[in-house]
Amino acid sequence: MIEVQNLSKSYGSVEAVKSISFEVSQGEVVGFLGPNGAGKSTTMKIMTGYLPPKEGTVLVDGIDIREDALPVREKIGYLPESTPLYSDMVTYDYLEFVAAMRGVASSDRASRIRAMTNSCGLHEVLSKRIDALSKGFKQRVGLAQAMIHNPPILILDEPTSGLDPNQIVEIRELIRKIGEERTVVLSTHILSEVQASCDRVIIIDNGVLVADGTPEELQAGLSGEEQISMTVLDGEEDVAEVLGSWDLAEVTEHGVDEHGESYFMLSSPQDIRSDLFRLAVDHNWTLTGLQRKTKNLEDVFRQLTGG
């Protein structure tokens, strides 16, 4: 549905995006990640026709955005990081105005507003001025304006920015529901949100694409050895001596925790928990904890972006 082809963009001498390419299929929810200044917002603005690229292009349903931007824009709903609201307007009037600007037929506007009211949970604020709404409701109105013309694609730039934890959960659930019916490209710094909502993750750093795959694929492909933690009630030095000569793992850290238990961090090319258990049995250690450190999306992000 979306094809980004060798996309580049510069601001003066600064290269914000450097020849990146990727595709987004119909019905996918894709998390678009990167540190501040990586080129995320620039790429999204080009995808929506807001900015022209320096080189490369974007195809939406085979339509080249450089050659025929208007039909591409008709297929896309866009929520930029700064929610585009007219604060002195009443919510209903604003949605009616956006529907008219988006070319929704006058006979269909009321039904589209009802649909957005139901989808985004706006019943209690339809008659309120936008400047009187909470940040969470403003984001909901922003999502409603992005979907008012019923586009098959949504591009959302930091949709939960500035929200409190309860509001984040509300907007996340709303985006997940929206993703059941539309293609969604979502930019965010909240990696748990991506883990919970996205089918696929694209990471860019310094304008360059550095990863593309499902969250599980990226976690599985993260280089580095297994990290295992072990705690025992036995003496730290005695256990450390045995582990120091053990050929299946390297002890990277050990000590005594606040409970008086001896803890050990071990690094190995493979999962050695069963081997450690047998080693503890052989040496009559009182094993109180044995845990594999799970690689998560934050580990992937930090490794790929130099965090």
pLDDT along the chain (307 residues), means of 10: 94 94 93 91 93 94 92 93 91 97 95 93 95 92 93 91 79 82 88 84 94 84 74 93 92 91 90 92 94 78 80
Cα distance from N-terminal residue to C-terminal residue, the chain: 32
Amino acid at residue number 275: D
Q: How far apart are CA 95 and CA 110, in angstroms?
A: 10
CA distance 44 to 40: 6
Question: Residue 193: what pLDDT?
Answer: 78
Residue 29 has a pLDDT of 92
Q: Are 175 and 156 in contact (CB under 8 A)?
A: yes
Predicted local confidence at residue 212, as pLDDT? 93
Query: How far apart are alpha carbons 116 and 191 in whole angstroms?
Result: 27
Strand ranges, E, within 190-298: 200-205, 208-213, 226-232, 250-256, 262-268, 287-292
Residue 288 Rama label (left phi>0; alpha psi -120 to 50; beta): alpha
Separation CA 49–CA 26 (nearest Å)? 19
**pLDDT number for residue 194:** 85
Q: What is the pLDDT of residue 268?
A: 87
* pLDDT tens, position by position, 69-90: 999 999 999 999 888 899 999 9
**CA separation for the pair 143, 175 (Å, rounded):** 9
258: left (phi over 0), alpha (psi -120 to 50) or beta: alpha
Look up the pTM and report it.
Answer: 0.77
Phi and psi at residue 205, in whole multiples of 5°?
A: -145, 125
Q: What's the confidence (pLDDT) of residue 221? A: 66
Interval 203-252: pLDDT, tens? 999 999 999 998 888 876 654 567 899 999 999 999 999 999 999 999 98
